[in-house]
Amino acid sequence: MRTATTAPERVGHAVFVTFVTLAYVFLMAPIVVVVLASLNAGNYLKFPPEGLSLRWYATFFHSAPFLNAMAVSLRVAVIATILSTIIGTLAAVYYTRFTTWGRQTLRMVMIAPMLLPEVLTAIALLLYYYVIGLGTQTLIGLQIGHVLVTMPYVFLNVTANLGNLDPALEEAARSLGASPAAAFSRISLPLMKQGVVNGAMFAFIISFDLFSISLLLKGVDTVTLPIQLFDYLQWNFDPTAAAVSTMSILVTLTVVLLTDRFVGLRTVRF
Amino acid sequence: MNQAIGRIVLTAPRRRAAGRWRWLLILPALLLVLLFLGVPYLNIVVMSFRTPSTGAPYAPGFTVASYAKALSDPLYLGILWRTLRISVLVTALCLLIAYPVSYHLARTRSRFRGLLFACILSPLLVGVVIRCYGWIILLANNGLVNVTLRQWGLIRRPLPMLNNEFGVTLGLVHIYLPFMILPLLGAIQGINPSLEEAARSLGASRIWVMRHVVWPLSAPGVQSGTVLVFVLSVSSYVTPVVLGGSRVQMMAPIVVQQLDEAFLWPFGTALAIVLAITGGLSVVAWFRITQRLFKGAL
């Protein structure tokens, strides 16, 4: 199979493999280090570590600001997921089934919130809310921002899923006498479940980790977890932040594993 | 048979009636994007031409004074230049690291393939603040790297790796690397391996095959990956603040500062639009360059 290799080529291959390995180490190192620091007994992470401890998790569970931020984040992410899944799925059905003209334009409009820089959208929303008198005292403005930027992920996942569906399946049901509603709910809906759930998963994760929009649109009591962590890190570097980060990673990991368990993960192309 | 035909004829008018309400499906999404993206963006464009005021965020009347200030003040031009410089460097480094990784993952038949793919995707599932914090643990003066190097006696004083351009660049490369790997991976997976094998069997060296077969055919992936990473870097907020501190100022934090802390709405929005237009023009220029670089490949 492999063509004869010369000595310099073998050296080249070794360099290549080493480089790729180091790249993976580079990708994973900061995340692994955060998890290790959260379990480390000492204030600073050292090798060898100073022993295992859950004390930083205890600090987290006694910190009102962090617990409150976790609650706000979960609430915002769940509401954003529900709303953007409904809105994005309906739009995706319309886009794949009924658009005849202006398809490309409609697609661009739908994914624009994902393509535009988040910080610019956050600024635009902040000034807009002041101008229309909505302000940032309530969660509403922040919540709309989260729905806005997560909707494209649902739209893309569901359109990709529906694009692979054979329209003949639904036509067959129709020709056998099913009403359009019945054909859709009995045939297409179960087949598009995977796309919808994967889209919802992305919406949740994006919303849970969203930064700029949460930062600029936060009110006094509506600080999300990434913002609380960011504020904390301005003055403290103790491993409480690591425990908080690990908890946050666990939340997203749970969502990914649940999705994989129930409908299976799909690979999406950007 | 007759019955079936009859049923289709019967349902046809009802189907048309349902068709009239189809647009209701797209309405919520359309309203969301138009009212909370279209109008707000128009609003910041209008705002950037408003007259600045000291007592209120802005005064009545229109002017281009904010743009004049944004484009003439050496302080802001310097920050814009640094932002572009760091973003170009980050994009180049991401391409340099991502290309071998993507090529390896596209061609490997290892049983750990799925695990490797998960390693590339998993950073995307971890918030940016958390990933920056990971770099703080590693790079701080009493961080893992400095302490370990001191223990080994390699250095006496800690190497400064935070609150400078090194830290910001490293952090940005780490955070945007998956956005370079994914398009490259897609492009390289689309190249038929038999093309490479053919060239190799005709006596071409590995380097020659990479340069003249794989690289030109991966052009679309290179193009979209570089554009994605550049745009994300230019508008990055968290990494410069967390890893650069007050010493490495970049555009997005400055814009937020002008609006959220100083309440200079016309100037802040003008600065944001200058950044957006500079970024956009850079992307257009890059498209031109890549078109020439890859000649017929794109």
Q: Using alpha carbons, list the distances in angstroms from residue B227 to A6, A212, B214, B282.
A: 37, 21, 20, 9
What's the one-letter identity of residue A123?
Answer: I
Contact B33 A148 (CB under 8 A): yes
**B62 phi-psi bin (left φ>0, alpha ψ -120 to 50, beta other):** beta
**Do the Cβ atoms of A151 and A115 come closer than 8 Å?**
no
| pLDDT for A97 | 85
Q: Using alpha carbons, list the distances in angstroms from residue B112 to A214, B115, B192.
A: 37, 5, 22
Q: What is the gyration radius of the CA atoms in chain B, in angstroms?
A: 26
Residue A28: closest C-alpha in chain B: B119
Dist. CA A260–CA B91, nearest whole Å? 32
Q: Using alpha carbons, list the distances in angstroms from residue B284 to B89, B140, B179, B288, B289.
A: 18, 38, 19, 6, 9
Dist. CA B24–CA A31, nearest whole Å? 44
| pLDDT for A8 | 82
| pLDDT for B187 | 94
Q: Which of A129, A230, A238, A250 to mutate to test the interface with B (most CBs of B within 10 A)?
A: A230
Tokens coding A203: 């919406």
Q: Measured between CA atoms, how close is B62 to chain A, in angstroms?
A: 17
Contact B28 A91 (CB under 8 A): yes
Of the candidates B77, B74, B53, B75, the residue with the CA atom closest to the CA atom of residue B63: B53
What's the one-letter identity of residue A36?
Answer: L
Burial of B12 (0-12, 13-18, 19+ CB in 10 A): exposed
Phi, psi of B200 (to 5 degrees): -65, -40
Mean pLDDT over the full length of chain A: 90
What sign has the CA pseudo-torsion A33, A36, A38, A40? negative
- Which H or E run includes B197? helix B193-201
Dist. CA A25–CA B202, nearest whole Å? 36
pLDDT tens digits, one per residue of A8-27: 878 988 999 999 999 999 99
Q: A106: which chain B residues are within 8 Å (Cβ-Cβ)?
A: 26
Tokens coding A259: 């999705």
pTM of the prediction? 0.90
Q: What does the pLDDT profile of chain B (298 residues) look like in tens digits?
A: 444 444 444 444 455 556 778 889 999 999 999 999 999 999 999 999 999 888 788 888 899 999 999 999 999 999 999 999 999 999 999 999 999 999 999 999 988 998 999 999 888 889 999 999 999 999 998 889 999 999 899 999 999 999 999 999 999 999 999 999 999 999 999 999 999 999 999 988 888 999 999 999 999 999 999 999 999 999 999 999 999 988 899 999 999 999 988 889 999 999 999 999 999 999 999 999 998 888 766 6
Q: A31: which chain B residues are within 8 Å (Cβ-Cβ)?
A: 122-123, 126, 130-131, 134
What sign has the CA pseudo-torsion A196, A201, A204, A210? negative
Classify residue A176 by its DSSP letter: T
Tokens coding A57: 């998790």
| pLDDT for B294 | 82
pLDDT tens digits, one per residue of A197-236: 999 999 999 999 999 999 999 988 899 999 999 999 988 8
Under DSSP, is residue A78 helix (H, G, I), strand (E, B) or coil? Answer: helix
Closest CB to B138: pick one of A29, A177, A269: A29
Residue B129 at interface with chain A, using a CB cutoff of 8 Å: yes
What's the one-letter identity of residue A104?
Answer: Q
Q: Measured between CA atoms, how close is B191 to chain A, in angstroms?
A: 16
Contact B40 A128 (CB under 8 A): yes
Predicted ipTM of the assembly: 0.90
Under DSSP, is residue B173 helix (H, G, I), strand (E, B) or coil? Answer: helix
What's the one-letter identity of residue A31?
Answer: I
Interface of B with A in 186-215 (CB under 8 A): 186, 200-201, 205-207
Q: Helix B65-72 to helix B74-107 angle, to the nearest 10 degrees?
A: 70
Closest CB to A249: pick one of B126, B132, B200: B126
Under DSSP, is residue B218 helix (H, G, I), strand (E, B) or coil? Answer: coil
Tokens coding A205: 């994760």
Q: B255: which chain A residues are within 8 Å (Cβ-Cβ)?
A: 119, 123
Contact A180 B18 (CB under 8 A): yes
| pLDDT for A238 | 85
Helical ranges in chain A per DSSP H: 7-39, 55-61, 64-98, 103-115, 118-132, 140-163, 167-175, 180-183, 189-191, 193-209, 212-216, 225-235, 240-262
Interface of B with A in 62-91 (CB under 8 A): none
| pLDDT for A4 | 55
Dist. CA B30–CA B23, nearest whole Å? 10
Give B54-96 as a DSSP string.
SSSS-EEEE-SHHHHHHHH-HHHHHHHHHHHHHHHHHHHHHHH
Dist. CA A152–CA A165, nearest whole Å? 20
What's the one-letter identity of residue B69?
Answer: K
Dist. CA B234–CA B211, nearest whole Å? 29
Q: Which of A16, A98, A119 to mutate to test the interface with B (most CBs of B within 10 A)?
A: A119
| pLDDT for A138 | 87
Q: A17: which chain B residues are within 8 Å (Cβ-Cβ)?
A: 104
Dist. CA B1–CA B4, nearest whole Å? 5
Residue B172: closest C-alpha in chain A: A27
Number of CB pairs < 8 Å for A and B? 235
Q: B40: which chain A residues are within 8 Å (Cβ-Cβ)?
A: 121, 124-125, 127-128
The share of chain A scoring above pLDDT 70, in percent, equals 96
Closest CB to B44: pick one of A86, A88, A127: A127
pLDDT tens digits, one per residue of A102-128: 889 999 999 999 999 999 999 999 999
